Chain A
Amino acid sequence: MSSKNKVIKGEKAAKTPAGQSKTGALQSQTNERHKHGGIAILALLILLIATFIFSLCLGRYQFSPSDIIQVLWGTLTQSNVDPMASNIVFSVRMPRILMGILVGAALAEAGATYQAVFGNPLVSSDILGVSSGASFGATLGILLSVGTIGIQAWSLAFGLIALVIVIFLGRVQKKTQLYMLVLAGVIVSSLFSALVSLLEYVADPYDQLPAIVTWLMGSLTSSSYGDVVTSAIIILPCCILLWLLRWKLNLLSLDEEEAASLGIDVSKMRILVLVIATLMTAVTVSLCGVIGWIGLVIPHMCRMIVGNDHRVLIPSSMLMGGAYLLLIDDIARCATGTEIPLSILTAIIGAPVFMSLLQKTGGSAK
């Protein structure tokens, strides 16, 4: 007995110094991890700016990055610029590119928000059926010719309806179950897709139908400065509001009662945040159709880089979402002679990522 005791004590004594040396290493990580978030955001910002300039270069008429910088700088300082280059950059490419950044940032931020509220990394506006609901609303708006703001309002209304149905179906015994949430999303999505098909069926085949079909597949083709302004009026305040609430999103991602016990008014905060995220989704859907997968894939990629802290995750998702959609749109408009619909490209890239995500988590949020 006594010899055994000695052995155990000996082991303990041997372990302690090792434990302490670990401590020192951990503490030196402190500052690194604080910096880590800032560096990631800065790197993503540079990535976004680089993508922005790169995207301005691409097209039928190719520019070099230095041409683009000259045009941008020249216009800023009001010195003389090649009028043709200026025309291509500002009239043809710029609105579409700005729209791409806005929409990508909005979808990614909305996705990160949905994930925080439902406390799991497998949801986004398209998985929850919000996008389908919003697209039905927008189709209805196009069919009734209610104008841009009317279309956005319809889109938001049905996006919210879809969300409410999904939340209602997803609650089993007063707890939101992940598998029920995803299943409910499938049900609601297919219901609203069917309703969209119904509307397509009754739409005027020469005038409305082609418009609906191309719009539904997701495209930034027809973006004008007007569209950029109308979407920015809604998307930018929403982005800022969610950014301001970034720390509360950390708390909101905890268990309902845990969050409540930390002084969060959970139901009010959830509704506020979900309405903002749905509003952003609805605006993007009403302007450029359903662009799937971004809201799921981008926040997840950001989580792998910067961790789960929404104070870093929210800005990172916005920046990466903007850059990602820009790149996708570059492929869409330049890879072939004709435009490839965006949702096709985002799905080809997004679906495999989602598959690996499902495999990794075993279909459940821990």
Chain B
Amino acid sequence: MKVEIHNGCFGYRGKLLFDHLNLKVPENKVLTILGANGVGKTTLLRCLMGFLPWKEGETLLNGAPFHSYSHKEVWSHISYVPQAKQSSFSYRVIDTVVMGLNASSSLFSTPSKEDYEKAQAALEWLGLADLAERNCDRVSGGQLQMVLIARALVSDPEVLILDEPESNLDMANQLRVLDVIERIADKGDTTCIINTHFPNNALRISDDTLFLGSNGKQLMGPTKSVINEDTIKEFYHVRSYMVPVTPISNKLRIVFPYQTEQIPAEL
């Protein structure tokens, strides 16, 4: 499914976060959104998904306006992975994953045996089958994030939206999450939109990257060309070098930040 934002404007209390933002994610491509803290990465996702109303402009799904779809229609195509945090009522892992099938169920229905089989398959695909019976408050932060990804994948979404999926995770768990996103991208039937704090992760997993800056500044392009020393300086106020990682691949380059710049006064 193709996802677009057409002339999106949004802001809080007179402060403009997005000024006529345009965004196009072609079908089955991966987009990462980068930007410093507070520029509105999560807000952008919330506007995109209709949780916050655009002041101007709109979200388009396959060319049709977001609001032309019913709530259920939208969410049977799109899955959202929020940042993992424990909620006050925790359920078993398998019960949590099966919730991902709710959008296609009727009001009074409860999940069927087939639904549970699908949930189990999703867990197996992510290598989490062992956790199925455990309660969600008995798994680690990294495992919980993977469970939420399983919940999102169980409905075979056409669009997968992830909000900083690798934040707050240790190195191994970060790699696991990246690996899963790569596997999803390789399947070639899911459009992914991912917020991240890490340009290097973007370089690894995405086709396109959107940089968000303060005061509605934005820049979008193919990830490999749009992430460079100049854009890192412009959007993060950090000096860096692009360093090739030749032992892994001749094409892979990563950002090595080494010094902060003076942050301009208006921030």
Contacts and interface: CB of A to CB of B under 8 A. Distances in A.
Interface of A: 22-23, 26-27, 29-30, 33, 115-116, 119-121, 244-248, 250-251, 253-255, 257-258, 260-265, 307-309, 311, 365-366
Contacts of A311: 110
A263 B72 contact: yes
B79 A261 contact: yes
Given A263-B75, A264-B102, A309-B95, A23 B87 contact: no
A31 to B, nearest CB: 10
B88 interface: yes
B90 interface: yes
Given A244-B108, A309-B95, A262 B103 contact: yes
Given A248-B107, A265-B71, 13 more contacts: A26-B133, A33-B92, A33-B133, A115-B89, A119-B89, A244-B107, A245-B108, A247-B109, A250-B95, A251-B99, A260-B51, A261-B79, A366-B86
Contacts of A254: 87, 99
B82 A255 contact: yes
Contacts of A33: 92, 133
28 contacts: A27-B133, A29-B133, A30-B133, A115-B89, A116-B89, A119-B87, A119-B88, A121-B88, A244-B108, A245-B108, A247-B109, A248-B102, A248-B107, A254-B87, A254-B99, A255-B82, A255-B87, A257-B46, A257-B51, A257-B82, A261-B75, A262-B151, A263-B71, A263-B76, A307-B92, A308-B89, A309-B95, A366-B88
B16 to A, nearest CB: 20
A186 to B, nearest CB: 20
Contact of B100 (A116, A119, A121, A262): A262
Contacts of A29: 133
Interface string B115-138: 000000000000000111111000
Contact of B80 (A121, A253, A261, A307): A261
B102 A251 contact: yes
Interface of B: 46, 49, 51, 71-72, 75-76, 78-80, 82, 86-92, 95, 99-100, 102-105, 107-111, 130-135, 151
B87 A366 contact: yes
A269 B91 CA distance: 20
Nearest to A20: B130
A263 B95 contact: no
Nearest to B104: A263
A333 B73 CA distance: 56
A250 B99 contact: yes
Nearest to A313: B89
Nearest 9 interchain pairs by C-beta: A263-B103, A365-B88, A261-B80, A263-B75, A308-B89, A244-B108, A247-B110, A23-B130, A253-B89
A248 B151 CA distance: 16
A261 B135 CA distance: 22
Nearest to B49: A261
Contacts of B88: 119-121, 253, 365-366
B87 A247 contact: no
Given A245-B107, A248-B107, A263-B71, A26 B89 contact: no
Contacts of B151: 262
B51 to A, nearest CB: 5
B96 to A, nearest CB: 9
Given A119-B88, A119-B89, A263-B75, A247 B103 contact: no
B90 A308 contact: yes
Contacts of A261: 49, 75, 78-80, 82
Nearest to B131: A26
Contacts of A248: 102, 107
Contact of B111 (A247, A255, A308): A247
A167 B174 CA distance: 39
A23 to B, nearest CB: 4
Contacts of B109: 247
Given A33-B92, A308-B89, A246 B49 contact: no
Given A246-B110, A309-B91, A26 B130 contact: yes
Contacts of A253: 87-89
Given A245-B108, A247-B110, A254-B87, A263 B102 contact: yes
A20 B266 CA distance: 55
A248 B98 CA distance: 12
A308 B105 CA distance: 21
Contacts of A246: 110
Contacts of B78: 261
A141 B88 CA distance: 39
Nearest to A116: B89
A236 to B, nearest CB: 16
A258 B80 CA distance: 8
A11 to B, nearest CB: 15
Instruction: Point out which of A26, A121, A253, A263 has the most chain B C-beta atoms below 10 A from its C-beta.
Output: A263
Nearest to B80: A261
A20 to B, nearest CB: 9
